[in-house]
């Protein structure tokens, strides 16, 4: 049996690629690599979640590990509880993917995403299969439910705003019909906000379906219709945030990160006057930060890489355009609900609408983001014909543009990004690159025997 960690865990179509047998094997392997202590497990609201969570838990228990089942909780809640309880954690979630997909995310004790070396060790342990002497009798791990974990996490979030409240603020909260649905509206209400909840009625199949951070149109319409001050949209496992101002305009991760960076800097809470971003961050963000005396450090895609840079530099803030934002002094991973709470707190403290706070903040360099479906994204690295086209496109666009192709770690796609001074140029270049990827790695290439 073979498994492979991507950018954010192991993913696949539930019960087809990500089967109970695979999940059990990953549970066994995680127990052997990370140690025999107790594990925390949780999941989002997907139809296949209980199936795969049971399989992972069985694998952990089969290796002698006690398992605490926290039920449906956001991924950041598992990370927080992992840090607080000094236990590794496993989350069954495919984040922003459609409901038929699922995934396995593993946190080391302390709440940090696994290093690549530990991921490779777990992959090798899965391939090796179970050991020759499995535990028996009282050495077999026990599985027990703990309904208190979510409340513990919410208490932590309330403490992150220093006793301040949100009275007078009207919010629309979009839970993506995911793990935030049962928690986020009540959290904001408990701090005095007038909350309207949308997409907070999960049925197992509607997670991320035309809602949440990847489809903010629903939130925009609701904010305008409800005459709300602010809208907050999470993804399926609530580690992302996208916001909407009172006019219905969307503020993505780049805009929110810039706003948070300036706010922390003004309060003397931005160590090194530095913020960490990934290669996907818009060039306009870099221009905005440089113009205000804030240094920008760049990493690969993935909040694991952002966190590593934060740790290495003793820094406080980093994030991704997608809405993963890491406040290192408060969390060990991207946390959409925490980010939404801190944004609402910022708006309340400043007494100014989000639209006013973000107007002209990040100059937008035209950016085209698209993707091409392929069977094996890993083949991109050796696709010489594609990289020749990349060189040609870069030469045509000139020095004031940027081109990025990367194999997705969460979906079977190659992601294409082009930034250029002119939107038409960017679109044309992106289309040309997509054609090159499709010709070399896509169905047409397979049909001709490539």
| Active site (catalytic) residues | 95
Q: CB pairs under 8 A, 24+ apart, for 438-446? A: 438/372, 439/385, 440/383, 440/385, 440/386, 441/372, 441/374, 441/375, 441/376, 441/377, 441/379, 441/380, 441/383, 441/386, 441/414, 442/372, 442/373, 442/374, 446/375
Q: CB pairs under 8 A, 24+ apart, for 201-207? A: 201/177, 202/45, 202/175, 202/177, 202/178, 203/177, 204/45, 204/46, 204/47, 204/49, 204/99, 205/47, 205/99, 206/99, 206/177, 207/44, 207/45, 207/46, 207/99, 207/176, 207/177, 207/178, 207/236
- Per DSSP (E only), the strands in 99-209 are 101-107, 143-145, 170-174, 194-198
Residue carrying structure tokens 């513990």: 152
Rounded-to-integer distance, Cα 71 and Cα 61, Å = 17
| Distances 167 to 124, 164, 184, 240, 372 between C-alpha atoms, Å | 52, 9, 16, 24, 46
DSSP three-state, residue 174: strand
Residue carrying structure tokens 């949209």: 233
Contact 244, 340 (CB under 8 A): no
413-419/402-407 β-pairing? antiparallel
DSSP state of 47: T
Helix axes 283-291 and 253-266, enclosed angle (nearest 10): 10
| Distances 278 to 126, 391, 423 between C-alpha atoms, Å | 31, 22, 22
Rounded-to-integer distance, Cα 93 and Cα 303, Å = 16
Among the listed residues 25, 1, 2, the one whose alpha carbon sits nearest the alpha carbon of residue 378: 2
Q: Which pair of tokens denotes residue 418? A: 């082009």
């Amino acid at each position: 049996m073979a498994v492979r960690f991507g950018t954010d865990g192991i993913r696949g179509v539930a019960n087809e690629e990500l089967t109970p047998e695979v999940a059990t094997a990953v549970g066994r392997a995680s127990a052997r690599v990370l140690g025999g202590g107790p594990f925390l497990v949780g999941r989002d609201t997907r139809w296949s979640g209980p199936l795969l969570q049971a399989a992972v838990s069985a694998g952990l228990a089969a290796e002698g590990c006690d398992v605490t089942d926290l039920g449906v909780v956001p991924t950041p809640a598992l990370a927080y509880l992992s840090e607080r309880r000094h236990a590794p954690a496993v989350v069954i979630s495919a984040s922003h993917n459609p409901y038929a997909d699922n995934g396995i995310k593993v946190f080391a004790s302390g709440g940090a995403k696994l290093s690549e070396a530990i991921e490779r060790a777990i992959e090798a342990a899965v391939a090796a299969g179970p050991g020759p002497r499995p535990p028996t009798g009282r050495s077999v791990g026990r599985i027990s439910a703990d309904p208190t974990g979510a409340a513990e996490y919410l208490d932590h979030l309330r403490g992150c705003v220093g006793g301040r409240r949100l009275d007078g603020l009207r919010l629309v909260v979009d839970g993506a019909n995911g793990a935030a649905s049962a928690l986020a509206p009540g959290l904001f209400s408990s701090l005095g906000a007038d909350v309207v909840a949308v997409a907070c009625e999960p049925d197992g199949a509607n997670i991320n379906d035309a809602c949440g951070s990847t489809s903010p149109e629903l939130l925009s319409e609701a904010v305008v219709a409800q005459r709300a001050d602010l809208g907050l949209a999470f993804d399926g496992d609530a580690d992302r945030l996208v916001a909407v101002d009172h006019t219905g305009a969307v503020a993505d991760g780049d805009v929110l990160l810039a706003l948070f960076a300036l706010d922390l800097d003004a309060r003397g809470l931005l160590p090194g006057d530095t913020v960490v971003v990934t290669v996907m961050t818009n060039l306009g963000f870099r221009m905005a930060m440089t113009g205000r005396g804030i240094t920008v450090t760049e990493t690969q895609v993935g909040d694991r890489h952002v966190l590593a840079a934060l740790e290495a530099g003793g820094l406080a803030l980093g994030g991704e355009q997608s809405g993963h934002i890491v406040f290192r002094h408060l969390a060990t991973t991207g946390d959409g609900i925490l980010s939404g709470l801190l944004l609402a707190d910022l708006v309340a403290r400043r007494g100014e609408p989000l639209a006013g706070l973000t107007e002209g903040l990040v100059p937008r360099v035209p950016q085209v983001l698209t993707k091409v479906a392929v069977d094996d994204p890993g083949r991109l690295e050796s696709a010489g014909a594609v990289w020749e086209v990349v060189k040609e496109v870069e030469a045509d666009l000139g020095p004031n543009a940027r081109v990025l192709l990367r194999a997705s770690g969460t979906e079977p796609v190659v992601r294409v990004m082009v930034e250029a001074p002119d939107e038409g140029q960017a679109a044309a270049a992106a289309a040309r690159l997509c054609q090159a990827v499709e010709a070399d790695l896509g169905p047409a290439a397979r049909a001709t025997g490539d």
